[in-house]
């Protein structure tokens, strides 16, 4: 395996794509070529692998009947030669638009260039001939072509709409090109290209502007990228096009699987270049995961099989650092935008409440039993329980909250548990588990029976087990249902006591909600007064400010994060492992990009190692038999009946080996 330059985005299957919007002059190919070359060189200098330019950019789109003038057509071919020459020493694919004569007919074409060569020519398939458009007056559809090759710049090259251009030194980069109207049709050519393997769909467009059209374009491009599980690179004409009857805004877009990555500034009287780093591996994995994509390939096999694959070598320099230009959220389970975050919190609560109310209604059970520790997870579970009772029209006193102090319970958490139950309005009970734990330790012959300070895992699990045992027996007595509190992060790390412990319940509303999202949910409840005006919400803020701890060992403040690593990092690791299946080196690369100002690379690597060891090797047996719980987010769950099925005796060797490829920072590598 070739040594990996860790800090180069191409080492992690990203590709930088660019859209150039050159200032143009109508019917002045030499000027347009010069503007195109300047942006091409800028894109290459910025490390882009692909740069796309507007439809008919070498001539300008708004030439109308001038397209049938030989001087203009000759000038465009001369301009193409200039652009091709400029690509000679550049490791970048350039896609330019021009009118091209083929067999005494004229086609609206995209020409794909690399290192002085023409890789192929793609004609426009759908010609708009309505409203302000009269393209059928000047051009023929690519479907009417009678040849599959053309001679251009002295080279015999492929010609046709069914071409995919594949980089053999970046195999996941597979380009397809369509032109403007093609994407506005019910079944765009790019849909079939995606089924044939294209991952980056490029559209050379002109597209004049009218009120509301920019929003529609944005939606159209985003949705096409989502349907095709692809990146979609869209260019359009801007300043310099004729305004005889139309106006032009120069809207460039790059979307990836439905997400807008970058957009140009519209209505600029200057050339522009925008770039975005697309995650090619993400696209490939989504296609592999969504079996319906493969079904579509099978159903359209005859059409898909007609695509030609044109191979090329970029020759990218991967020995130099190239930082990622892409927003990577620190909290992938939590929207960064405040308004979207509130909407997400509302929806998460609604999903959890719906799951719990259905379970109560179907079972005929009207009471809930919840262990309340004064910490984060049980707080959130109690809040969900309260809203479920409200939704069912039952009193909150049907919730029996139980705080169960043990050998190391702090006064702060005990007081918070009591305040929380009072704020919610549930029935509050307190059971001291120390006597029963002492008896258990004595019965099994633990050194603690002789008052020896042996605080091992048995000492801890006896307390966790006694709490759960009390909850189940109390549920038997009261006709209630034990509500689980453990979260997705703890399940991923195996941070729960198996069987008769916090691992078990009758129903768990938190099982697919990670710790970092629970923190935001509890804060949202406090800030938006979800418990009702006048309720003590300060207790929720106090709980959020409390160190996360199991409180099982006397005389010490046990920090959970000191043992398992920061939950902020572990949830990041979990998301990219569970949702995308990334290698550990790529996760470390993304984590450093997102968390560079907070966590050093050695710390990121240390915490990721803990995750790998615990997730892949040490704790699957716990996840193989978890209670029922509603799936909350697209980030996945760990239920063996849902998103995650894995052997309980797997090894972590391959993940650890990949993690060892992450260098210790010495010279910026």
**Positions at the binding site:** 130, 207, 213, 371-378, 461, 485, 490, 495-498, 622
Element (H, E) at 283: helix 280-289
H helix and E strand count, the chain: 22, 20
Tokens for 85? 């020459």
Residue 24 known to be catalytic: no
Q: Which residues are annotated as a binding site for L-glutamine?
A: 130, 207, 213
**Residue 547 burial (10 A CB sphere; 0-12, 13-18, 19+):** middle
Residue 181 known to be catalytic: no
Report phi then psi at 579, rounded to 5. -80, -35
> Which whole-number Å values give the CA distances from 11 to 5, 7, 93, 282, 317, in the listed order?
6, 8, 19, 14, 11
State how far the Cα of 496 lies from the Cα of 411, in Å rounded to an integer.
Answer: 23
Residue 180 known to be catalytic: yes
Residues 6+ apart with CB under 8 A from 28: 60
Local structure of residue 240 (DSSP, 8 states): T
For 518, half-sphere exposure in the C-beta direction (CA atoms, 13 angstrom radius) is 30
State how far the Cα of 99 lies from the Cα of 138, in Å rounded to an integer.
Answer: 10
CB 457 within 8 A of CB 428: no
> Could you tell me which of 160, 305, 310, 296 has the C-alpha nearest to residue 229?
296
Place of tokens 């000038």: 75
Gyration radius of the chain's alpha carbons: 31
76, 109, 180, 228: the catalytic one is 180
Q: Which residues are annotated as a binding site for ATP?
A: 371-378, 485
> Could you tell me which of 597, 530, 524 has the C-alpha nearest to residue 338?
524
Tokens for 304? 């898909």
Q: How many CB atoms lie within 10 A of CB 618?
A: 13
24, 55, 281, 631: the catalytic one is 55
State how far the Cα of 424 lies from the Cα of 403, in Å rounded to an integer.
Answer: 14
124, 515, 605, 631: the catalytic one is 124
Q: Which residues are annotated as a binding site for deamido-NAD(+)?
A: 461, 490, 495-498, 622
Place of tokens 């080196």: 585
* Partner residues linked to 234 by β-bridges: 203, 253
Residues found in the chain: 669
For 624, half-sphere exposure in the C-beta direction (CA atoms, 13 angstrom radius) is 10
Tokens for 627? 């209670």
**Residue 597 burial (10 A CB sphere; 0-12, 13-18, 19+):** exposed
Element (H, E) at 383: helix 376-392
CB 162 within 8 A of CB 306: yes
> Which whole-number Å values give the CA distances from 435 to 372, 442, 457, 459, 502, in the listed order?
19, 11, 19, 13, 19
Three-state SS letters, 3-72: CCCCCEHHHHCEEEEEEEECCCCCCCHHHHHHHHHHHHHHHHHCCCCEEECCCCCCCCCCCHHHHHCHHH
Region at 160 (left for phi over 0; alpha for psi -120 to 50; beta for the rest): left
State how far the Cα of 607 lies from the Cα of 609, in Å rounded to an integer.
Answer: 5
Tokens for 328? 């990577």
Residues 6+ apart with CB under 8 A from 345: 520, 521, 524, 525
Place of tokens 């690179």: 233
Catalytic residues: 55, 124, 180
């Amino acid at each position: 395996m070739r040594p990996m330059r860790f800090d180069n985005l191409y080492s992690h299957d990203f590709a930088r794509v660019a859209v150039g919007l050159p200032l143009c002059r109508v019917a002045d190919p030499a000027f347009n070529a010069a503007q195109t070359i300047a942006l091409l060189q800028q894109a290459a200098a910025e490390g882009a692998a692909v740069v796309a330019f507007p439809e008919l950019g070498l001539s300008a789109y708004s030439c109308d009947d001038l397209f049938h003038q030989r001087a203009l057509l000759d000038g465009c071919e001369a301009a193409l030669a200039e652009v091709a020459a400029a690509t000679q020493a550049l490791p970048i694919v350039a896609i330019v638009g021009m009118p091209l004569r083929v067999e005494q007919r004229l086609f609206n074409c995209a020409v794909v260039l690399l290192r002085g060569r023409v890789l192929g020519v793609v004609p426009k398939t759908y010609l708009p001939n309505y409203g302000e458009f009269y393209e059928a007056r000047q051009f023929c559809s690519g479907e009417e072509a009678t040849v599959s090759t053309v001679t251009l710049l002295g080279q015999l090259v492929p010609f046709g709409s069914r071409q995919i251009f594949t980089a053999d030194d970046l195999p996941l980069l597979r380009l397809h090109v369509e032109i403007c109207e093609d994407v506005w049709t019910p079944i765009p050519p790019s849909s079939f290209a995606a089924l044939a393997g294209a991952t980056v769909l490029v559209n050379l467009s002109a597209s004049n502007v009218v009120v509301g059209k920019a929003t529609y374009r944005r939606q159209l491009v985003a949705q096409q990228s989502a349907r095709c599980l692809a990146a979609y690179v869209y260019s359009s004409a801007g300043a310099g096009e004729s305004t005889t009857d139309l106006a032009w805004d120069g809207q460039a877009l790059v979307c990836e699987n439905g997400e807008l990555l970058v957009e140009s500034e519209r209505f600029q009287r200057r050339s522009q270049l925008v770039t975005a780093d697309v995650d090619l591996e993400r696209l490939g994995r989504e296609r592999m995961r969504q079996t319906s994509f493969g079904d579509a390939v099978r159903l359209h096999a005859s059409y898909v099989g007609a695509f030609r694959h044109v191979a090329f070598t970029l020759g990218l320099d991967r020995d130099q650092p190239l930082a990622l230009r892409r927003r990577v959220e620190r909290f992938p389970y939590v929207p960064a935008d405040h308004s979207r975050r509130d909407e997400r919190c509302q929806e998460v609560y609604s999903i959890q409440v719906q799951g719990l109310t259905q379970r109560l209604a179907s079972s005929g059970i009207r009471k809930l039993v919840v262990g309340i520790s004064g910490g984060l997870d049980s707080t959130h579970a109690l809040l969900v329980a309260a809203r479920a009772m409200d939704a069912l029209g039952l009193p909150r006193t049907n919730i029996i909250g139980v705080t169960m102090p043990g050998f190391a319970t702090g006064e702060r958490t005990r007081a918070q548990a009591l305040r929380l139950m009072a704020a919610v309005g549930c029935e509050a009970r307190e059971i001291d588990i120390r006597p029963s734990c002492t008896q258990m330790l004595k019965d099994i012959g633990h050194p603690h029976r002789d008052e020896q300070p042996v605080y091992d895992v048995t000492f801890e699990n006896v307390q966790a087990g006694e709490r759960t045992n009390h909850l189940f027996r109390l549920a038997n007595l009261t006709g209630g249902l034990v509500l689980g509190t453990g979260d997705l992060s703890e399940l991923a790390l195996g941070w729960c006591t198996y069987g008769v412990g916090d691992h078990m319940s009758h129903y768990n509303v938190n099982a697919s909600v990670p710790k970092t999202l629970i923190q935001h949910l509890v804060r949202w409840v406090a800030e938006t007064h979800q418990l009702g005006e006048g309720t003590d919400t300060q207790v929720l803020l106090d709980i959020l400010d409390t160190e996360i701890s199991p409180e099982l060992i006397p005389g010490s403040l046990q920090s959970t994060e000191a043992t398992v690593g920061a939950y902020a990092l572990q949830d990041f690791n979990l998301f990219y492992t569970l949702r995308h299946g990334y290698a550990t080196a790529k996760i470390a690369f993304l984590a450093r990009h997102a968390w560079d100002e907070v966590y050093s690379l050695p710390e990121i690597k240390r915490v990721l190692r803990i995750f790998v060891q615990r997730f892949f090797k040490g704790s699957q047996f716990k996840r193989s038999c978890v209670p029922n719980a509603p799936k909350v987010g697209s980030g996945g769950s760990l239920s063996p009946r849902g998103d995650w099925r894995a052997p309980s005796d797997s090894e972590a060797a391959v993940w650890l080996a990949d993690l060892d490829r992450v260098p210790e920072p010495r010279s910026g590598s």
